[in-house]
Copies of this chain bind each other. A is one copy, B any other.
């Protein structure tokens, strides 16, 4: 069965009844499976994660958007995290064999409904972006709601992809996108000095010339005698977790420092783990169909 993941971020992290109402409209759509909700009162923001077949994912996405627009007034919203909308960001993420193009279609369809039925301006980002400049979410959102109110009608570079040429009075604007699954992956080094972790982070991350789909920071781990290379793998099929590990091990070994262990924060797609298993076992001609459980779950 084709499945996609949706991770709507909305601008409410303090009022449980509002958060629950928004999650409830997603859960009410047949086929939707809610994997979790994370609310941050400091950021006054929540992240809902659900999985569904494409059409149900779209239906639930619109229900979430409508409920967020109804219940959240950005004029009364404060929080540490940058945001431009009541429903702030809505990415579609392909699972299994679903092509990215399918998620781009879904993002475009959701954006069209939000613009026409809710009168909220829509920006498409990442794989759903309409231009290269809009791929990066941060470049779309910039300083958020208050800034966007001023520039949306005057700066052509900030004009929405769909919807009115002004922000919605209470709900602002929304970024709808399609992107690969993001893996949060940390590797620990057997040294208390953070310099090596920082230098490895620079070698491995795209922004310093490293692997194209890796974001990385070198962090201290006070009191543990270790340091951490903290990473987001934003496209594990293109920049493999195996390559990441090989590169970090080689760099660390050159300095006589061992990799003590690693950690996956949250979920990881099976295919990323299969890449690592295939590397360890030197498997040849292995296909995911050989995984017993996949045969059962198809």
Contacts and interface: CB of A to CB of B under 8 A. Distances in A.
A63 to B, nearest CB: 21
Q: In which size bucket is the chain A interface?
A: 35 or more
Contact of A290 (B259, B267, B277, B279): B267
Q: How many copies does the complex hold?
A: 2
Given A35-B295, A276-B281, 20 more contacts: A5-B292, A51-B295, A51-B296, A95-B296, A96-B293, A181-B292, A241-B281, A262-B281, A262-B282, A263-B286, A267-B290, A269-B293, A270-B270, A270-B294, A277-B280, A279-B280, A280-B280, A293-B294, A296-B297, A297-B297
A190 to B, nearest CB: 11
A290 B276 contact: no
24 contacts: A5-B292, A33-B296, A35-B295, A95-B293, A95-B296, A96-B293, A245-B280, A245-B281, A261-B284, A262-B281, A264-B290, A267-B295, A269-B291, A269-B292, A269-B293, A270-B270, A270-B291, A273-B273, A273-B274, A274-B277, A276-B280, A277-B280, A279-B280, A280-B280
Interface string A17-48: 00000000000000001010000000000000
